[in-house]
């Protein structure tokens, strides 16, 4: 190995903060097809006794609320996977399946209900798994079940409140969600129960036609809490050795399932806590305990020992819950963010001639933002990895493999990395969905092919943002005659401003895809597009449409304070579309610390070298956004020297400055905490400290004040059309109904497009 492996981790963590300055790295994130035909992606590979038809692996994504209440995979879950198998991926892995509800109380709900699939010895669930595996096999894909010994300290602490049971871990560790809740160390006999339960689950998986099992050993879940000295500080006993539990699990699976069943193991090369938090590891109480994390050399030694015990295949990433933007890389992370990590492991295995018990080389699967076809192919050609894992790219487009094989990269619906409808949906109690694919998680409700219109009708759609464009294309594809009006000269609505910062390259890809989709739809169907056309009530009346779909978007709002009309006060969307507005400004105050405010601050600080202060009224920045996305932005804003002021209101704007009221009480939480999540409103934290109010008026130098204070629905046209009865059927959708997420807009557009 040429590079110092530990130094590589520090280098990567640093690079994640400024990678977008490198044109080649940006080019890697394009949906190009220059390397077609993709001979490496579509070559088979042997893993133990199993041949996989290509090098593409669907990454594990939790099947939260996709099983019925006994834990049996439901038709929702089966159809979701069958859709991905049909799309051409070689190997599908399930989301994590906890194997021992008896030992780790965090997954079990009061009344014995579960929200994850089960595979722990009950016959009642087996038929669901068998149907699932058979459905996947029908399309020639393989299926591995991801077995998880538990969540431990990263599980819900509600078991303490609701069932009087302390959450568990390897040693006394703070719970991730509520650090004041302690997680107790498991007894040795409980660890042995975990080992037996894992063996039983593997045997059940094998009986249910699974082609392999996959151990969930990364990201700081319970297995890693044992395997990493950051969390395992057991003074003595058989499981005080960090390698002991993992090796025991693998040996037990081999004992129960024999030598031929492939075993895959998911590991992080490093938690990267020291590299991310540096001196905070000494200063912050809840981080201090985690100072002794496993070094890269120790990880590599552990991996070799796992192979000797029976592991056939690894995938490898970085990070854990406490720096969640690493294992769950959001949009602003670079394309192929962990390729260097996979390469390091692959080179190590080659140097050490590491071979599996089946006598084969041990393949390394790369993961993390690899949904760009040329980058994925190049990773294999250059020898960075042996297989490529795609998780979110297959939520966005299950047909990714089929399209790439056919050289249709431009037809792929790209993932935009917002994690709103996939990861964040779990936090709010939902199941997996996708912002850009309205059918994800609803495959059993919405068939793959659109139902043809019973009788073609004339449909008018106003607004070519995600909602209007989706509605227009779906309705036209079904056979309706559609006219799409857009007052701008181009499609995209608010997405256009959102795609401007370099870290939003995924959104730019999505815009390009929408343009291509609209063109294709215009060519193939009866869809007329009128750009640069303001749709008035009169014009719509004259059009004599049978149905109208109004997606007129939202209007940015401004706080009702003095000076808001001054020339140095601008809206964030205007600034993003016309960055020249910031010319000559050195000090900028961004008002509003939601996604738009923080992304704009990042844009100004990183791409334009401005000195930025962001003020937010609420105690938390980006409250409600996915913890991983929030963590990335806050961490790298802080590193860039952007001042983040929470509990701060704009009082007035004056020439050259902004005057704010800032709560200076010591009870105001630090805005820079990224190692703890913001809990959703409906979860009561009995241990939370109330925030007292001690406001002070503060003047901040500001050559430019940028407003990112939200949108209100622009629904005047809808109400006017409704009043005048302009068409027999009128819908109001997207931001014009409720300014929310892209997910909400595309879902509404799709549902209406299918229904009209």
Ligand X SMILES: Cc1cc2nc3c(=O)[nH]c(=O)nc-3n(C[C@H](O)[C@H](O)[C@H](O)COP(=O)(O)O)c2cc1C
Tokens of 77: 């879950």
Looking at 162-170, 390-398, 441-449, 575-583, which segment touches ligand X (CB under 6 A)? 390-398
CA dihedral 606, 607, 612, 613 (to 10 degrees): -70
For residue 37, whether the previous peptide bond is cis, meaning omega lies within 30 degrees of 0, is: yes
Pick what 434 binds: ligand SF4, ligand X, none; C-beta below 5 to 8 Å, kind-dependent.
ligand SF4
Rounded to the nearest whole angstrom, what is the least distance from the CB of residue 372 to ligand SF4 in the complex? 13
Is the CB of 8 or the CB of 389 nearer to ligand X?
389
Q: What is the full DSSP assignment across 188-214?
A: HHHHHHHHHHHHHHHHHHHHTT-SEEE
Question: What's the CA gap between 604 and 617, in Å, rounded?
Answer: 21
Rounded to the nearest whole angstrom, what is the least distance from the CB of residue 738 to ligand SF4 in the complex? 18
Interface pick for ligand X out of 40, 72, 294, 369 (rule CB under 6 A): 369
328 near ligand X (CB under 6 A): yes
Tokens of 537: 């009530």
Rounded to the nearest whole angstrom, what is the least distance from the CB of residue 173 to ligand X in the complex? 20
Question: What's the CA gap between 590 and 601, in Å, rounded?
Answer: 7
Interface pick for ligand X out of 52, 119, 380, 390 (rule CB under 6 A): 390
Is the CB of 76 or the CB of 266 nearer to ligand X?
266
Pick what 216 binds: ligand SF4, ligand X, none; C-beta below 5 to 8 Å, kind-dependent.
ligand X
Question: What's the CA gap between 69 and 547, in Å, rounded?
Answer: 41
Looking at 124-132, 288-296, 402-410, 417-425, which segment touches ligand SF4 (CB under 6 A)? 417-425
Is the CB of 243 or the CB of 418 nearer to ligand SF4?
418
Pick what 416 binds: ligand SF4, ligand X, none; C-beta below 5 to 8 Å, kind-dependent.
ligand SF4
Q: What is the full DSSP assignment across 200-263?
A: HHHHHHHHTT-SEEEEE--BT-HHHHHH-TTT----SSTTSSTTHHHHHHHHHHHHHH-SSS-E
Containing 397, the helix (H) or strand (E) segment is none
Q: Which residue has the tokens 């009209």?
A: 756
Pick what 435 binds: ligand X, ligand SF4, none; C-beta below 5 to 8 Å, kind-dependent.
ligand SF4
391 near ligand X (CB under 6 A): yes
Interface pick for ligand X out of 201, 230, 248, 432 (rule CB under 6 A): 432
H/E/C letters for each residue in 550-597? ECCCEEECCCCCECCCCCCEEEHHHHHHCHHHHCCCCEEEEECCCHHH
Question: What's the CA gap between 232 and 220, in Å, rounded?
Answer: 11
Looking at 129-137, 348-356, 361-369, 556-564, which segment touches ligand X (CB under 6 A)? 361-369
Q: Is 398 within 8 Å of 347 (Cβ atoms)?
A: no
Looking at 154-162, 262-270, 416-424, 514-522, which segment touches ligand SF4 (CB under 6 A)? 416-424
The single-letter DSSP state of residue 522 is H
Pick what 328 binds: ligand X, ligand SF4, none; C-beta below 5 to 8 Å, kind-dependent.
ligand X
420 near ligand SF4 (CB under 6 A): yes
Residues pairing with 169 in the sheet: 185
Looking at 401-409, 420-428, 594-602, 695-703, which segment touches ligand SF4 (CB under 6 A)? 420-428
Tokens of 655: 């020439």
Is the CB of 89 or the CB of 276 nearer to ligand X?
89
Helix (H, G, I), strand (E, B) or coil at 84: helix
Interface pick for ligand X out of 5, 71, 90, 95 (rule CB under 6 A): 95
Is the CB of 321 or the CB of 621 nearer to ligand X?
321
Interface pick for ligand X out of 92, 384, 423, 743 (rule CB under 6 A): 423
Is the CB of 625 or the CB of 732 nearer to ligand X?
625
422 near ligand X (CB under 6 A): yes
Interface pick for ligand X out of 179, 368, 556, 631 (rule CB under 6 A): 368
Q: Is 299 within 8 Å of 269 (Cβ atoms)?
A: yes
Question: What's the CA gap between 529 and 750, in Å, rounded?
Answer: 18
118 near ligand X (CB under 6 A): no
Using CB under 6 A, list all residues that contact ligand SF4: 392, 395-396, 415-422, 434-436
Using CB under 6 A, list all residues that contact ligand X: 59-62, 95-96, 146, 216, 266, 328-329, 367-370, 389-393, 422-423, 432
């Amino acid at each position: 190995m040429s590079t110092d492996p530990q130094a590589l981790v520090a280098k990567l963590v640093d690079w994640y903060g400024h990678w977008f300055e490198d044109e080649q790295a940006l080019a890697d994130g394009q949906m190009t097809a220059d390397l077609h035909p993709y001979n490496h992606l579509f070559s088979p590979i042997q893993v133990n006794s199993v041949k996989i038809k290509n090098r593409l692996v669907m990454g594990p994504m939790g099947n939260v609320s996709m099983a019925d209440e006994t834990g049996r995979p439901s038709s929702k879950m089966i159809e979701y996977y069958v859709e991905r198998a049909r799309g051409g991926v070689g190997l599908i892995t399930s989301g994590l399946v906890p194997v021992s509800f008896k030992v780790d109380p965090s997954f079990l709900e009061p009344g014995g209900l579960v929200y994850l699939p089960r595979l722990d010895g009950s016959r009642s669930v087996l038929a669901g798994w068998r149907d699932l595996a058979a459905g996947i096999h029908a399309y020639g894909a393989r299926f591995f079940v991801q077995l998880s010994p538990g969540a431990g300290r990263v599980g819900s602490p509600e078991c303490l409140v609701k069932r009087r049971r302390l959450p568990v871990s390897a040693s006394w560790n703070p719970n991730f969600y509520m650090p004041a809740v302690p997680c107790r160390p498991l007894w040795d006999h409980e660890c042995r129960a975990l080992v037996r339960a894992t063996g039983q689950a593997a045997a059940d998986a094998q009986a249910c036609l699974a082609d392999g099992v996959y151990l969930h050993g990364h990201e700081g879940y319970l297995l890693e809490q044992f395997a990493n000295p950051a969390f395992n500080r057991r003074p003595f006993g058989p499981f005080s050795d960090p390698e002991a539990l993992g090796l025991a699990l693998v040996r037990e699976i081999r004992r129960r399932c024999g030598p031929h069943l492939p075993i895959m193991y998911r590991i992080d090369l490093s938690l990267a806590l020291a590299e991310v938090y540096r001196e905070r590891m000494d200063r912050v109480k809840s981080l201090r305990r985690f100072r002794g994390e496993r070094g890269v050399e120790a990880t590599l030694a552990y991996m070799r020992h796992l192979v000797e015990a029976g592991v056939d295949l690894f995938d490898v990433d970085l990070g854990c819950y406490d720096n969640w933007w690493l294992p769950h890389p959001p949009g602003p992370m670079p394309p192929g963010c962990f390729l260097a990590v996979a390469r390091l492991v692959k080179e190590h295995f080659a140097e050490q001639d590491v071979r599996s018990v089946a006598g084969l080389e041990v393949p390394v699967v790369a993961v993390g933002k690899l949904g760009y076809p040329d980058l994925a192919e190049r990773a294999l050609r250059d020898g960075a990895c042996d297989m490529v894992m795609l998780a979110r790219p297959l939520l966005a487009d299950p047909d990714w493999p089929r399209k790439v094989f056919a050289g249709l990269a431009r037809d792929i619906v790209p993932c935009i990395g917002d994690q709103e409808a996939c990861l964040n949906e779990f936090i709010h109690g939902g199941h997996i969905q996708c912002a850009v694919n309205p059918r994800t998680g609803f495959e059993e409700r919405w068939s793959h092919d659109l139902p043809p219109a019973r009788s073609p009708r004339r449909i008018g759609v106003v607004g070519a943002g995600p909602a209007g464009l989706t509605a227009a294309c779906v309705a036209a594809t079904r056979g309706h005659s559609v006219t799409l009006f857009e007052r701008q000269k181009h499609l995209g609505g608010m997405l256009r401003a959102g795609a401007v910062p370099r870290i939003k390259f995924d959104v730019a890809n999505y815009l390009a895809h929408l343009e291509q989709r609209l063109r294709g739809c215009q060519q193939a169907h009866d869809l007329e597009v009128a750009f640069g056309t303001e749709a008035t009530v009169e014009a719509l009346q004259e059009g004599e449409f049978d149905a109208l779909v109004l997606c007129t978007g939202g209007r940015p709002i401004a706080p009702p304070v003095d000076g808001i009309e001054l020339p140095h006060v601008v809206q964030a969307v205007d600034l993003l579309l016309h960055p020249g507005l910031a010319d000559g400004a050195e000090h900028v105050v961004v008002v509003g610390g939601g996604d738009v405010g923080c992304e704009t601050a990042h844009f100004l600080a990183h791409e334009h070298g401005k000195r930025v202060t962001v003020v937010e009224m609420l105690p938390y920045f980006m409250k409600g956004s996915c913890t991983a996305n929030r963590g990335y932005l806050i961490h790298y804003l802080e590193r860039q020297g952007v001042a983040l002021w929470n509990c701060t209101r704009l009082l007035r704007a004056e020439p050259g400055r902004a005057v704010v009221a800032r709560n200076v009480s010591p009870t105001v939480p630090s805005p820079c905490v990224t190692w703890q999540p913001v809990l959703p409103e409906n979860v009561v934290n009995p241990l939370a400290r109330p925030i007292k109010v001690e406001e002070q008026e503060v003047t901040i130098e500001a050559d430019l004040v940028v407003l990112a204070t939200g949108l209100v629905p622009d629904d005047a046209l809808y109400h006017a059309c409704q009043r005048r009865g302009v068409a027999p059927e009128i819908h109001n959708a997207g931001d014009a109904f409720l300014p929310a997420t892209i997910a909400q807009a595309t879902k509404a557009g799709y549902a209406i497009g299918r229904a009209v």
